[in-house]
Structure 1
Amino acid sequence: MNTVIDGRPAGAGDVALAITARYGHFTAMQVRGRRVRGLAFHLDRLDSATRELFGQELDRDLVLDSIRTVLDRDDASVRVYVCEVDRLRVIATAAPPAEVATVPQRLRSVRHQRFLAHVKHTGGFAQGYLGRQVKAEGFDEALFTTADGVISEGSITNLGCFDGSRIIWPDAPMLRGITMRLLEVSDIPSERRVLRVADLPGFEAVFLSNSHGVVAVGQVDDVVLKVNDEAVATVVGAYEATPWDALERAGQDAP
């Protein structure tokens, strides 16, 4: 994995800095051909959280320079962290590209509410633990619900429902993922609604979205859901119609 700190490649002496960078937030993106979907949303997310957590304005140019510097390939999984270690730091990492799952996912509902749910913060121990637990039980993802069963989000995903004409998102505290935001501005109308697991079989398709893309959900706990291939294709097509934004400056060739 490549790492860049404040726009320069990380050296051996930066390991301790990266380890101690615990208070902060981040965004995750898939880069293809040195392009990314929803680049403005990623920058807006980082800027908003930087203002909220640190009371400072994000250096967007430094973020973009860090992404360009960390890329040693045209396709990659990139994360950009904004953390405080002595001062505000921008840390970018690049790893091999990830692909969205191709089979309907099986979810296990878990009572959990992320702290400061609207921020993609670095305090992800509980999410990681619960995600590992449900996978050990044979499921693909954890689905967070309140004590009275209201759905909020997955451990690393958003859950959406498609009724054949519009997308319904849970009306609950959650992170608005970048893929979710892209679908919200697509040609498919969206709305928020209180959702419980018992409501899900009534939809033509239930799906997960994150930086990897969009994938159907086939089961939650012991509840089997419809997977209408045409409905799933409509949602996936709306996401895939989103244009890719170039990371390079105008007139600048990729290295």
Structure 2
Amino acid sequence: MGPDRVILVEGEAATQADLACVSLVNYGAYTAFLVEGGGVRGLDLHLARLEASARELFGESVGETRLRAFMRAALDDRQAAWLRVSLFSPEIGPRTPDWTGRPKVMIAASPPPPPLADSVRVQVQTHVRDAAHLKHAATFPLLRARRLAREAGFDDALFADADGRISEGSLWNIGFLRGETVVWPRAPMLAGVAQALIDRGLASVGLDAVREPVRREEVDRFDAAFLCNSATPACAVTGIGSTSLPESPAMIERLRQAWRSNPRQSI
């Protein structure tokens, strides 16, 4: 762990037992976000994600007041940071999967990362994440997908199901542009916070949005495409498989403005 990274569990320095638990048992959920000027865009959405995940995976919520207190403890006096807030339980393991109760909260605070990229070319891979609606701890398939994509000469991986319906990327959501409309794919996926923030701000930049199935063989009918996550408000997707798409920098900037239109919320 570098000098700029702090890991706390329940507001205190993580112990060896805490780190062993999360290293050896791959069961839990998390959310991650950028802190700017001491505030977070979409903090309400991140808190809601954590509470819903806690109830579904552990049977009991953490409580917004506790979550906020742990976040403040991890930040200390930092005004800018990247926070990863994870839920886990030392009571759950391969032989004890049925424990129910309030999960522990682990928070890693580190310097803000740069955006993923300015533009990417992605490889379409047939894959649907297990429990796709959850941002869970099982990240092996995601890293494996990115690795395979890069070995094949692409920047990242885009997922589609066996019927060719596009869902999401390895670490991000994808949106397509058709005129003045953002088209979000309709398929099992994680509902991203950045995606929701863009949606909230689209009207302010004169755009609207729809959700509809998007098949891998249909991507050439769109004007452009972009990816988004909490570290990357909008980034052009200039290639999907063998299909090239325009970069459309003016539209990418409007999407970033839509994201920025959401005020930072105090922790």
State the TM-score, normalizing by the size of structure 2.
Answer: 0.87
- Identify the residue that residue 43 of structure 1 maps to in structure 2: 47
Matched, 1:198 2:217: yes
Matched, 1:65 2:69: yes
- Identify the residue that residue 81 of structure 1 maps to in structure 2: 86
Please give the per-residue CA displacement for 1:129-187, whole angstroms capped at 9, x wherever unaligned. 11111122232210001112110100111000122322111110000010011122222
CA distance in 2, matches of 1:13, 1:111: 37
- Identify the residue that residue 165 of structure 1 maps to in structure 2: 180
CA distance in 1, matches of 2:117, 2:129: 28
1:28 maps to amino acid: A
Residue 13 of structure 1, CA deviation: 4.9
SS at match of 2:220: helix
Residue 197 of structure 1, CA deviation: 2.8
- Identify the residue that residue 140 of structure 1 maps to in structure 2: 155
- Identify the residue that residue 216 of structure 1 maps to in structure 2: 236
Runs of at least 4 residues off by over 3 Å: 11-14
Aligned positions, number: 247
- Identify the residue that residue 253 of structure 1 maps to in structure 2: none
| 8 Å contact kept, 2:160–2:216 | no
1:190 maps to amino acid: A
Structure 1: any 5+ residue segments left out of the alignment? 248-255
| 8 Å contact kept, 2:200–2:258 | no
Please give the per-residue CA displacement for 1:48-91, whole angstroms capped at 9, x wherever unaligned. 11111122122222211111111253221111011121262111
- Identify the residue that residue 189 of structure 1 maps to in structure 2: 208
Structure 2: any 5+ residue segments left out of the alignment? 92-100
Please give the per-residue CA displacement for 1:179-217, whole angstroms capped at 9, x wherever unaligned. 011122222322111112332233232000111121111
Residue 20 to residue 66, structure 1, CA distance change in 2 (3 Å): farther
Query: Which residue of 131, 134, 143 corresponds with 1:116?
Result: 131
Q: Give the root-mean-square deviation of aligned CA atoms.
A: 1.6
CA distance in 1, matches of 2:136, 2:117: 28
The alignment-based identity, stated in percent, is: 33
Deviates more, 1:221-230 or 1:199-208: 199-208
CA distance in 1, matches of 2:15, 2:243: 50
- Identify the residue that residue 26 of structure 1 maps to in structure 2: 30
1:110 maps to amino acid: Q
